[in-house]
Amino acid sequence: MYAIVQVGGRQYRATPGDRLVVDRMEVEPGSELQLPDVRMLVAEAGDAGATQVGRPRLEDVFVAATAVSHFRGPKLLVFKYKPKKRYRRKRGFRAELTELRIDGISLSSASSPTQSVESVPEAVTKAPSRRSAAPKKADSSRAQAEEPGTAAAPVVAARKPRRAAPGKASNTDPGAELPGGHEEIADGA
């Protein structure tokens, strides 16, 4: 029997006795913990029970594990390069990792270890549904017009004035420049 368990946003196949390398977890090496986010429980040939698939996770199924050690992964080189611009950046990256030893798969929380790794409340982890729209921002012009005893005027978007063709002065704009950079001379001066 094995379980598909999600730890740190990634899914792993967990069989009792396996060692998993996961992203750094805030646990002490040697401490026992339980991984509650079991996505699937697969019964192999000769196992009692049937395969269970969670939607999205299985309730009352936990994977018991022991934190073996913390370590850093191999160095990865990150090289940024832009051709013909003399732009080169070379950086290194090493992932912070935790090694877990899978002790067993329990079907209820009573037989599992005492420490739980992911104890985030359910309300915090739920993403907003796609059907609910984001709250709209208040329109400041409407908010000012909605005083008691006054009717709100409809909001009409102001149009931009048209630009004159290049090299031609606009008839509507008296301060527009004339072709050649000359200004219009007033008659009284």
- Cβ atoms of 39 and 54 closer than 8 Å: yes
User: What pLDDT, on a 0 to 100 scale, did the predictor assign at position 133?
Assistant: 57
Beta partners for residue 82, in sequence order: 87
User: What pLDDT, on a 0 to 100 scale, did the predictor assign at position 76?
Assistant: 97
Cβ neighbors of 178 (< 8 A, separation 6 or more) are 169, 184
- CA 167 to CA 6: how far, in whole Å? 67
- CA 93 to CA 39: how far, in whole Å? 31
User: What pLDDT, on a 0 to 100 scale, did the predictor assign at position 163?
Assistant: 73
Spell out the per-residue pLDDT of the chain, length 189, in tens: 899 999 999 999 999 999 999 999 999 999 999 999 999 999 888 777 788 899 999 998 999 999 999 999 999 999 999 999 999 999 999 999 999 999 999 887 444 443 333 333 333 334 444 555 556 655 555 555 555 555 555 666 667 677 766 766 555 555 555 566 555 555 555
**Entry pTM:** 0.54
Cβ neighbors of 153 (< 8 A, separation 6 or more) are 145
- Cβ atoms of 4 and 14 closer than 8 Å: yes
- CA 103 to CA 25: how far, in whole Å? 17
